[in-house]
Amino acid sequence: MIEHLPSDWRQAVLVGRLLTREGPTPIVVVEGRVRDVSRHAATVSQLLNGWNGNVPEGRDLGPLESFGFTCEFSGQKEIRLLSPFDLQCIKASGVTFAISAMERVIEERCRGDASKADSLRASLRDRIGTDIRAVKPGSEEARKLKAALIADGLWSQYLEVAIGPDAEIFTKAPTLSSVGWGDWIGVRADSAWNNPEPEIVLAVDSAGRILGASLGNDVNLRDIEGRSALLLGKAKDNNASCAIGPFIRMFDGKFTLDDVRKCTVRLEIIGDEGFRLEGGSSMAQISRDPTELVGQTICKHHAYPDGFALFLGTMFAPIADRGTAGQGFTHRTGDVVRVSTEKLGVLENKVTTCDQAPPWSHGIADLMRNLARRGLLNN
């Protein structure tokens, strides 16, 4: 998996989870070597809540390249990488880029019908697209634009969270349900219009400290959410529909939140039929700073004792036709999806349907029983 790691991975501090014969195990990769830190912290949540910048000693498991991790997508591997988050809540922020705001409005006005998207896209972008990109959410200019759009009959609930004072923050997936690097990622079999959402995912502890970042794919079912925003839960929270990995890269002198602010998140999709699509999101174009999104997630109204992962949103919404003209892009079973940045590496997954994805059967109670058997709950 070396080609899927950050370009400077030997200088990076990486936190992850390894599934071994004993069970899920928190690991830290430092100077290219893997340390089992489960005796110091039984979960990644505990590890991050106690993070002080010093890497725990742990048990040396050898060089990372010796593990031979592969993206073969066939059978269950005895030792494999899991999603780097465990007990943390998986949160997501939506409509944080102007382009994605426009696409959500299009979905809403199409009522989930992809065949109507092209004409609406041209009309809406001509009338309001450039204005949105220039407006700071919650500002006086945003208030005036909102009034003008209401008067013109163009206001939308998606524009409210795009330029209004309150960000869209929602729960993407239950604790322990996210899949990791090299896993299958699920799309509902009854969705006919959907796409990946390549995003940066922040690792935040119970005190609200932003400690590091990872890569994520927040799968988007455009037809289901487009029918009604009240179907967001059905569109977003499904078996294997949330991928994060390969590791959390911890902030230090070589990698900071400013690197996140400046990076471009790239996307590559390769279909079995030879289809190929590439795109990207420049984090410089995000409408709300990551610190604001974190501040609207954890505050006096909402605590997260185990910390949380926060997807920062994407500007990528593929519109290139894959088949029938005017129908745009949608996933097919077997698509390989790669989300990447230079300093976070590559998150690679393969698309299946949610009902065919490997079942999620290891929940919180199972994890606690496993840790108790291993004598790790007294840390």
Question: ∠ at Cα 101 (98, 107), nearest 5°?
Answer: 150
Torsion 5-6-8-12 (CA) sign = negative
pLDDT confidence of residue 341: 97
- Mapped onto helix, strand or coil, the DSSP state of residue 295 is helix
Q: Which of 25, 28, 14 is nearest to 60 (CA)?
A: 28
Q: Where are the beta strands (DSSP E) in the chain?
A: 13-19, 24-30, 33-36, 59-63, 80-82, 89-94, 168-173, 184-187, 194-195, 198-204, 210-218, 220-221, 242-250, 264-270, 276-282, 308-311, 336-341, 345-353
Rounded Cα distance between 113 and 117, Å, is: 7
The per-residue pLDDT for 123 is 65
The residues that bridge with 16 in the sheet, in sequence order, are 27
Distance CA 156, CA 127 (A): 14
Question: So what's the pLDDT on residue 280?
Answer: 84
Rg, the chain, Cα only: 21
Specify the pLDDT at position 99: 62
pLDDT of residue 239: 97
For residue 107, what pLDDT is reported? 67
Residues 6+ apart with CB under 8 A from 321: 327, 328, 329
| DSSP one-letter code for 85 | -
Per-residue pLDDT of the chain (379 residues; tens, 9 = 90+): 899 999 999 999 999 999 999 999 999 999 999 999 999 999 999 999 999 999 999 999 999 999 989 887 765 667 889 999 999 999 999 878 766 666 666 667 776 677 777 776 666 566 655 556 667 888 887 788 777 667 767 677 877 888 788 999 999 999 999 999 999 999 999 999 899 999 999 999 999 999 999 999 999 998 998 898 899 999 999 999 999 999 999 999 999 999 999 999 999 999 999 999 998 889 998 889 999 999 999 999 999 999 999 999 987 777 778 877 766 789 999 999 999 999 999 999 999 999 999 999 999 999 999 999 999 997 6
Report the C-alpha dihedral over residues 358, 363, 367, 369, rounded to 10 degrees: -120
Runs of H (alpha helix) within 188-342: 222-227, 232-236, 257-262, 290-297
Please report the pLDDT score of residue 4 as a whole number: 96
User: d(Cα 50, Cα 40) in Å, to the nearest integer?
Assistant: 10
- For residue 22, the model assigns a pLDDT of 94
Q: What is the pLDDT of residue 124?
A: 59
Residue listed under structure tokens 């990528």? 316
ω before 305 within 30° of 0 (cis)? Answer: no
pLDDT of the residue at 287: 87
Which of helix, strand or coil describes residue 283? Answer: helix
How far does Cα 323 stand from its chain's mean position?
Answer: 27
Torsion-angle region of 345 (φ positive above 0: left; ψ -120 to 50: alpha; else: beta): left
Judge contact between 15 and 84, C-beta under 8 A.
yes
Q: What is the pLDDT of residue 42?
A: 97
Token pair in block for residue 332: 């097919």
Contact 164, 146 (CB under 8 A): yes
| Assessment of whether the complete model's pTM goes beyond 0.85 | yes
